[in-house]
């Protein structure tokens, strides 16, 4: 099952801008909600005040118009002769059932009035439309108003086909029921326009806030960028070896302890100081160790040579020696040779660690490969040795170069030692009959040397520390005794001193060491690749 790709995290700058804008959006939303509710409440309160006045006028309308007003309207009769109190005429055919309240001045457009006698003998209901004409209510609208309890409480009712209304129902002094309603359409329209304006203003304000926050956050985080740049420059410095002098520091203006970024900058400067002191102490200790190893190795060469000489001299004495003494002298000479090789390897590593200059010149790596394979034939006849100076991986060509050599710039003696150690490693750590292929090719600005065998491979625990000093394989791979564990460490040190790289592929059934060295036209400083 394929793992889902990791979600890309936002930068601190973006998160801060989003947080600021989100907070402003929440504040704007709360303010908008509160102001909208307050506006609606105020408008509804004004409607209620007008409704109470209209309800008072409507409740007193029958008495003010005369005692027979309701009966006359209910029976389709005529109205009093006073033109000032005459209601607006209904459309033709709809002149019955006009509530007496419409005969009074001051009624607003959209006002709904219902009047019902206490004994339900008469019922008038209508509303005043936009043109000032009185329109009768439908049965559904009338039923919605009659369902109200006439206790003088203002309620909100939705009248079919008319919309939302504020309604109050009261009982007149004569026991009649009077219901008055005013539309909320104007309130809704006003609130809607207010909300649209609020949203437009909020969007513009948030966009301006986002742009301003981006500029401000970027400006405030510039010190942190400078701190990060200092850390990045230090991370690119070669601190693994040699004398270390960390001159990089966070600028003083970015180390103010009164600010968070200043605290980070000051802490980084203190850390760099501690790291520099620790690396200097480590370098001093390593220098002393290298000096001791070099001096000890140099001093041991003379007594070891004397031991070997005396052992050979004893074996050449004319007098016959006991067999045990001869065997002992052979062992002394053998161990002296082994110790001499170990001392020479340690002395070479000490010199490479000290950065001793190499004897630099143009070296034909192909010619060195020919000589090394020829020597390997003699040293390990039980192995199959092949040389490939053509395309990489072409094993069809045998010993002897038939194309121009692969030139590199370096120390011929040390590069020869690289080949000898790699071939010796293949011979010692693989069983008889193993095929070892040595190839030399060019790849762009590099000359590539590859030593591959079809042996048992290298297990992972050893592969990760293969180039460490005194690293050895297990007994199954190390079939010959006497390995010092310094051969591949020397190869790595020599290649690095030439500005090259070395890698290994030790999968089961195949081991391949690949050395890349710069060609003469692309020579780089040692240790920089």
Q: Which of 22-26, 227-231, 336-340 has the highest mean pLDDT?
A: 22-26
Q: Which pLDDT score is estimated for 212?
A: 92
Query: What is residue 386's predicted lDDT score, i.e. its pLDDT?
Result: 92
Closest by Cα among 527, 494, 529, 349 to 410: 494
The confidence score (pLDDT) of residue 182 equals 92
pLDDT (0 to 100) of residue 292: 72
* C-beta of residue 165 within 8 angstroms of C-beta of residue 158: yes
Residue pair 195/210 in contact by the 8 Å Cβ criterion: no
| pLDDT score of 2 | 56
Q: What is the CA radius of gyration of the chain?
A: 52
pLDDT band, residue 340 (cuts 50/70/90): confident
149-167 pLDDT, tens digit each: 888 899 999 999 888 999 9
118/240: higher pLDDT: 118
The band of 26, judged by pLDDT with boundaries at 50, 70 and 90, is very high
- Per-residue pLDDT tens digits for 173-220: 888 888 999 999 989 999 999 999 999 999 999 999 999 999 998 888
Return the bridge partners of 453, or none. Answer: 436, 511
Q: What is the pLDDT of residue 98?
A: 64
Residues, the chain:
529
User: What 3-state class would DSSP assign to 256?
Assistant: coil
DSSP 69-104: HHHHHHTT-PPPS-GGGPPPPPPTT--S---GGGGS
Helix axes 323-353, 260-315, angle to 10 degrees: 150
Q: Give the pLDDT of residue 66.
A: 41
Give pLDDT, residue 6.
Answer: 59
- pLDDT confidence of residue 115: 87
Indicate the fold that domain 238-356 takes in CATH. Answer: Helix Hairpins (1.10.287)
Class of domain 361-522: alpha beta
Domain boundaries, the chain: 12-191, 238-356, 361-522
**Distance between CA atoms of residues 125 and 41, nearest Å:** 28
User: Which of residues 65 and 491 earns the better pLDDT score?
Assistant: 491
pLDDT band, residue 94 (cuts 50/70/90): very low
CB 140 within 8 A of CB 93: no
């Amino acid at each position: 099952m394929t793992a889902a790709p990791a979600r890309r995290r936002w930068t601190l700058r973006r998160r801060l801008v989003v947080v600021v804008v989100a907070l402003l959006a929440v504040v704007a939303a709360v303010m908008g909600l509160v102001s909208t509710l307050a506006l609606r409440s105020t408008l509804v309160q004004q409607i209620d005040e007008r409704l109470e006045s209209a309800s008072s006028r409507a409740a007193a309308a029958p008495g003010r118009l005369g005692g027979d007003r309701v009966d006359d309207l209910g029976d389709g009769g005529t109205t009093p002769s006073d033109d000032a109190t005459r209601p607006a005429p209904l459309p033709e055919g709809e002149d019955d059932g006009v509530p007496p309240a419409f005969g009074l001045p001051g009624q607003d457009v959209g006002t709904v009035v219902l009047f019902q006698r206490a004994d339900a003998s008469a019922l008038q209901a209508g509303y005043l439309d936009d043109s000032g004409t009185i329109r009768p209510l439908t049965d559904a609208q009338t039923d919605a108003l009659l369902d109200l309890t006439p206790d003088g409480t203002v309620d909100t009712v939705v009248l079919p086909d008319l919309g939302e209304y504020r309604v109050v129902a009261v009982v007149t002094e004569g026991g009649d029921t009077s219901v008055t309603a005013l539309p909320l359409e104007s309130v809704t329209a006003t609130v809607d326009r207010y909300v649209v304006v609020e949203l437009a203003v909020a969007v513009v304000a948030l966009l301006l806030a986002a742009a301003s926050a981006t500029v401000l956050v970027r400006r405030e985080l510039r010190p942190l960028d400078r701190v990060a740049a200092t850390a990045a420059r230090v991370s690119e410095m070669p601190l693994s070896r040699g004398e270390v002098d960390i001159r990089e520091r966070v600028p003083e203006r970015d180390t103010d302890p009164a600010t968070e970024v200043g605290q980070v900058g000051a802490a980084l400067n203190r850390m760099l100081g501690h790291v520099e002191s620790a690396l200097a102490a480590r370098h001093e200790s390593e220098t002393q160790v290298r000096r001791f190893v070099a001096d000890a190795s140099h001093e041991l060469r003379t007594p070891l040579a004397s031991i070997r000489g005396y052992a050979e001299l004893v074996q050449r004495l004319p007098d016959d020696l006991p067999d045990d003494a001869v065997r002992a002298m052979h062992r002394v000479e053998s161990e002296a040779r082994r110790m001499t090789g170990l001392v020479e390897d340690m002395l070479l590593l000490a010199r490479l660690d000290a950065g001793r200059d190499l004897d630099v010149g143009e070296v034909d790596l192909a010619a060195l490969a020919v000589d090394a394979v020829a020597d390997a034939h003699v040293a390990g006849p039980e192995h199959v040795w092949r040389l490939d100076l053509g395309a990489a991986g072409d094993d069809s060509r045998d010993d002897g170069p038939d194309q121009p050599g692969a030139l590199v710039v370096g120390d011929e003696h040390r590069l020869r030692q690289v080949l000898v150690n790699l071939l010796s490693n293949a011979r010692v750590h693989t069983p008889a009959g193993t095929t070892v292929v040595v190839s030399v090719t060019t790849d762009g600005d590099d000359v590539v040397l590859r030593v591959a065998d079809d042996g048992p491979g290298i297990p992972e625990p050893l592969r990760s520390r293969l180039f460490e000093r005194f690293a050895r394989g297990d007994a199954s791979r190390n079939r010959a005794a006497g390995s010092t564990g310094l051969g591949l460490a020397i190869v790595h040190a020599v290649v690095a001193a030439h500005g090259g790289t070395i890698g290994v592929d030790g999968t089961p059934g195949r081991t391949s060491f690949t050395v890349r060295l710069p060609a003469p036209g692309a020579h780089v400083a040692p240790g920089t690749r």
